[in-house]
Amino acid sequence: MAKKNILVVEDNHAILDVITLILESEAFNVSGLNKGADFISHVTDSRPDVIIMDIMLPDVDGRVLLKNLKDNKSTSHIPVLMISARYNATNYTLDGIEADDFMAKPFNIDELMDKIYALLKKSV
């Protein structure tokens, strides 16, 4: 079976590095962005199987990126796990975010992996 591709969009380099190491140890192909400027072009070119995205990015709100992704017919099917230190599951729902799942920071590694595998099952 081919390796699954995961895109991580996270401005905190330490968190990006940790998530990348965890996912690579689980045999995923991982690419990372630390700002949203090239998000849509990167997604269009790389076609990730799952996206893990921080809500608060330095150049654009992650919710705007999510809306652009879900409004685009060629990318709307890609499952997105939103992560944030500022929002919780209640805020995230009330904000009308259309992500497939959500995690608050700091997060548990086992929970992160459970959510990724669940999103991959949904996308098959």
What are the pLDDT digits (tens) for 63-113?
A: 889 988 988 899 999 999 999 887 666 655 545 667 899 898 888 999 999
User: For 5-123, which CATH class?
Assistant: alpha beta
* Most distant CA pair in the chain, distance: 38
- Across the range 22-39, mean pLDDT stands at 93
pLDDT of residue 107: 87
Q: Note whether 30 and 112 are within 8 A (CB).
A: no
SS3 label, residue 117: helix
Domain boundaries, the chain: 5-123
Report the half-sphere exposure of 35 (CA within 13 A, side-chain side): 5
Residues 33-55: tens digit of each pLDDT: 999 888 988 998 999 999 999 98
Q: What global pTM score does this model have?
A: 0.91
